[in-house]
Structure 1
């Protein structure tokens, strides 16, 4: 995987076969792309039969949609939890939202890459549901920035564009991050939190 972080996305919570299949699908899509990976490849990686795989998922597109659904749900859960614990002021909420987002990218780098590159192969309701899920996460950032500009915490003249720019910056980590790089997970998250606060022209926190 060229030094990328682990492929495990779906934990085994009593549905072992399904979790194994989804994690195998993520690995296959990450290595070979949607078009290159076959259902037979995924069954082999999941240590199951092809017929059993089809019992769970009728097509590759259903598999991709479910992998990305899990990724979006986990990202949303982390961001909403982090902001709920950050208090009422906009700056700490934005800082923690970014830290949570970066943490997800580091923990699930391959899922983030697959989400960015392979969603183009989904159409109709499958794609629409995933776009709605992405929009829900972006809306958290938009709400924080709107609160901050409304009460004077943030001075950016471009609040409508700030959330999209911040999320693009964080998502791009998946393209270059290496676990053996010079920055720890926490350092990387803190660095990008400071970038985000600078984008919205918020006073940066002091470090003693």
Structure 2
């Protein structure tokens, strides 16, 4: 995640908040949002329930913050990757997918929670998470639109294809296991190939990979 990630933050002044977010992620990952309690989070963070409420008055606020942090990092990774990928839509798409897949592998629990637990958010919190997700999907939509315009992609369904590519990458969180036959890089290349096929684009030569993966 970004500099405020519960997994990466090293800011001592925010140690309590970071510990709470880490504990919430662990609890939501293990029990789901509905099954996890604020008491579980407080226990995991090594703090009192009353102190937890000082930071996050509602469990939904914890979930919304975790999802916001996750999407911020995902968006930053994809944006950086695409910006250095050149002008061709296919190259930018491969870069976006490589970054997306790497994020899912690096932050599998966050990705699983984002997939399965967003349904428990409502109102402004949900609107914020959906808007953040839209920002990420918009990158794919722009790349696909550019590729269709330039003749790289021949799909007659660009918007649907972009949504399906995002779903394809996100779904890795539901089945990925370290120690499998594909490395993170190989997995990214494989999913880029799936996406290009979906877009009816010219496919690069296939390359088999070995290492950690499924």
TM-score (norm 1): 0.92
Partner Cα separation in structure 1 for residue 60 and residue 8 of structure 2: 17
Q: Equivalent residues in 2 for 1:1-208 (5 A)?
A: 9-14=7-12, 15-206=14-205
Stretch moving more, 151-160 or 141-150: 151-160
Aligned-residue offset at 1:175: 0.8
Aligned-residue offset at 1:11: 2.2
Aligned-residue offset at 1:177: 0.4
Partner Cα separation in structure 2 for residue 160 and residue 188 of structure 1: 24
Q: SS of the residue aligned with 1:172?
A: helix
C-alpha distance 207-172 of structure 1, shift in aligned 2 (>3 A): closer
Runs of 4+ in 1 over 6 A off after TM superposition: none
Give the length in aligned residue pairs.
Answer: 202
RMSD: 1.6
TM-score (norm 2): 0.90
Partner Cα separation in structure 2 for residue 145 and residue 130 of structure 1: 23
Partner Cα separation in structure 2 for residue 206 and residue 192 of structure 1: 14
Aligned-residue offset at 1:130: 0.3
Stretch moving more, 91-100 or 47-56: 47-56
Question: Relative contact order (C-alpha < 8 Å, sep 6+): which is higher?
Answer: 1
Partner Cα separation in structure 2 for residue 61 and residue 91 of structure 1: 39
Partner deviation per Cα, 1:37-89 (whole Å, 9 max, x = no partner): 11111111112222221111111011111011101111111111110110111
Partner Cα separation in structure 1 for residue 146 and residue 79 of structure 2: 16
Partner Cα separation in structure 1 for residue 86 and residue 22 of structure 2: 35
Please list every run of 5 or more consecutive structure 2 residues that lacks an aligned counterpart in the other structure: 208-214
